[in-house]
Amino acid sequence: MKTAIDTHTPRAWIGCLACYNEGRLVGEWFDAITADEVTPETLHGESAVAEAHDELWVMDHENIPVSGEMSPEEAAAWGRAFADVDEYHRAAVFAWVQSGDYIAEGTGDLPSIPDFEERYCGQWSDFDEYARNLADEIGLLDGIPEEIERYFDWDPWIRDLHFDYTECDDPEGGVFVFRIM
């Protein structure tokens, strides 16, 4: 059974670089969307040490589909991008970005959500299931008598259809299907 825990909210572990260079890990997890509001005081309290410790850095993150460290501003941008996505679509956006075959917004790595919404065709157990459902929707075999319909050769039809689509694995099983525009 699925739990109600939201596993798709981008989060960032923001640490103090000066502390890090002194061999101490001082930092905390934050929702990425607030990453650019975190101040040295947030991490150190209102102490004198904070003044010399003014450089913050995202040393770890989760639910941000790129690897490596980043600035708090970058993490916040990812947080905002995902906040624009319906919660039940977040896993699909995540997989889309991770596939590398996605539409970025502007010049960065952030995904274009309008492009995602235009292309996303849902989560299916495999591409065949999507294709057969589509055939139903467009009435591909409407009007063809059943005794003839069962001789329809699905394989080449689905293979041709597939040229217009990409799919990304859903880590929880099945695939996310995207239309190539």
Residues that bind Zn ion (CB under 5 A): 16, 18-19, 26, 53
53 or 61, CB closer to Zn ion? Answer: 53
To the nearest 10 degrees (0 to 180), the angle between helices 127-138 and 154-162 is 100
The distance of closest approach from Cβ of residue 61 to Zn ion in the complex, given in angstroms and rounded to an integer, is 19
N-terminal to C-terminal alpha carbon distance within the chain: 36
The distance of closest approach from Cβ of residue 21 to Zn ion in the complex, given in angstroms and rounded to an integer, is 9
The distance of closest approach from Cβ of residue 68 to Zn ion in the complex, given in angstroms and rounded to an integer, is 22
Phi-psi region of 88 (alpha: psi -120 to 50; beta: other; left: phi over 0): alpha
- Phi first, then psi, for residue 175 (nearest 5°) are -135, 155
18 or 91, CB closer to Zn ion? Answer: 18
27 or 65, CB closer to Zn ion? Answer: 27
The distance of closest approach from Cβ of residue 30 to Zn ion in the complex, given in angstroms and rounded to an integer, is 16
Q: To 10 degrees, the CA torsion angle through 24, 17, 79, 67?
A: -80
The distance of closest approach from Cβ of residue 25 to Zn ion in the complex, given in angstroms and rounded to an integer, is 10
Asked if residues 94 and 63 have their Cβ atoms less than 8 Å apart, the reply is yes
19 or 95, CB closer to Zn ion? Answer: 19
39 or 125, CB closer to Zn ion? Answer: 39
Q: In 3D, which of 126, 32, 19 has the Cα closest to residue 79? A: 32
